[in-house]
Amino acid sequence: MTTMHALPERIDVERQGSVLIARLYGGPHALMGLKMAEELASLLDKVEADTSVKAVVLTGTHPERFIGHADVRWLQEGGKSIPLVGRASASVIARTAKTVRGVPPLAAVASFTPLDGGMQLDKLHETFLRMNRSGVLFIAALNGSALGLGSELALACDARLMAAGDFFIGQPEVLLGILPGGGGSQRLPRLVGNHKALMLILEGRPVSPEKALEIGYIDEIVAPEGLLERAVEMARYLGSRHRGSIEAIKRAVYLGGSSSLEEGLHVERTEFIKIAPTETAQSLMIEYLQRTDRDGNTPFYNPDIFAQTFDQGSLPLPGEGSRK
């Protein structure tokens, strides 16, 4: 079993209405290790069970770093516990670790074997995928630099805002003889394009906030003193949309958008068939049709109605505003 040293890691959560602010504390170097990964998974359990939560804003507590990078000792000891094998055997180990982790009694026993490292990595990947499949929005408020796993956590979020300043973001794993292990080799190409991501990951050199914005690595640059306020504002604005719709859209984009067109369209159909009969969707579409008949024009071509709809997150319903 991998022997882990204790890191002073934790996630402090503050609630502001429908938005949770999750502050990531990774000690003096702002590192993310196993404990923080476990706390993030537990946070997902809570927000998925609480329908009143619309969005989570993730930010760092270090004065100059979001998450500096992964705890390298975590990676080193996990790698050391795995036997040196070829690619085919490595694939078998990865698939076996995933299967075993899904059976708690077996996972408990396997935690004392070389499969432990593979199971930890699989759980981290699953946590990030849960973020992508969730009806809750995740906003990364990068208060400083983010390398390696810090970048990958931001990439797993739905939007990335970064503080202006002498900061950087990137995937430098190649400089330690490894590759990104938290999804960076998969999510970064989906944001900036395959070749651009390949060059960034091959060189391992991070980029400035300005360059990151230019290539689509992040969505906005914000003055440091206004970063958290802007992230919460975005969380409330996008989180005002119906949670079921957000979940369906995220699944269609994240899970279908990187598949073949045929498979992606299947994912979209699946999500549409699931969401269209719901009470919220039916009420809103019926109201849209009734407004069209009553006003003699379709509502989304009425600038006032459209503006109100954007502000509320859905078409206003008579006497009660939007239904979330």
Q: 153-190 pLDDT, tens per residue?
A: 999 999 999 999 999 999 999 999 989 999 999 999 99
What pLDDT digit, counting tens, does each position of 206-262 carry?
A: 999 999 999 999 999 999 999 999 999 999 999 999 999 999 999 999 999 989 999
CATH number, residue 45: 3.90.226.10
* Domain end point (choices 238, 267, 286): 238
Number of folded domains in the chain? 2
β-strands 31-32, 19-26 pairing:
unpaired
Beta bridge partners of 221: 162
198 and 138, same domain (yes or no): yes
Domain membership of residue 248 as a residue range: 241-312
What per-residue confidence (pLDDT) applies to 242? 94
Which residue shows structure tokens 């999750």?
Answer: 22
Its pTM stands at 0.89
Q: Are residues 251 and 181 in the same domain?
A: no
156 and 77 together in one domain? yes
Q: What is the mean pLDDT of residues 4-15?
A: 78
pLDDT tens sequence across 290-323: 999 999 999 999 999 888 998 899 998 887 544 4
Residues 222, 254 within the same domain:
no
Compute the distance between CA of residue 257 and CA of residue 267 in angstroms, rounded to an integer. Answer: 9
Task: Give yes or no: residues 42 and 130 share one domain.
Answer: yes
Question: Do residues 20 and 48 lie in contact, with contact meaning Cβ atoms separated by under 8 Å?
Answer: no
Over residues 60-83, the pLDDT tens digits come to: 999 999 999 998 887 787 777 777
For residues 77-108, one letter each, b for 16 or more C-beta atoms within 10 angstroms of the residue's C-beta and e for the rest, the string is bbeebbeeeeeeeeeebbeebbebbeeeeebe
Please determine, for residue 196, whether its predicted confidence score (pLDDT) is greater than 80.
yes
Whether pLDDT at 144 is above 70: yes
Q: Mark whether 189 and 247 lie in a shared domain.
A: no
- Bridge partners (DSSP) of residue 9 are 26
User: Does residue 323 form part of some domain?
Assistant: no
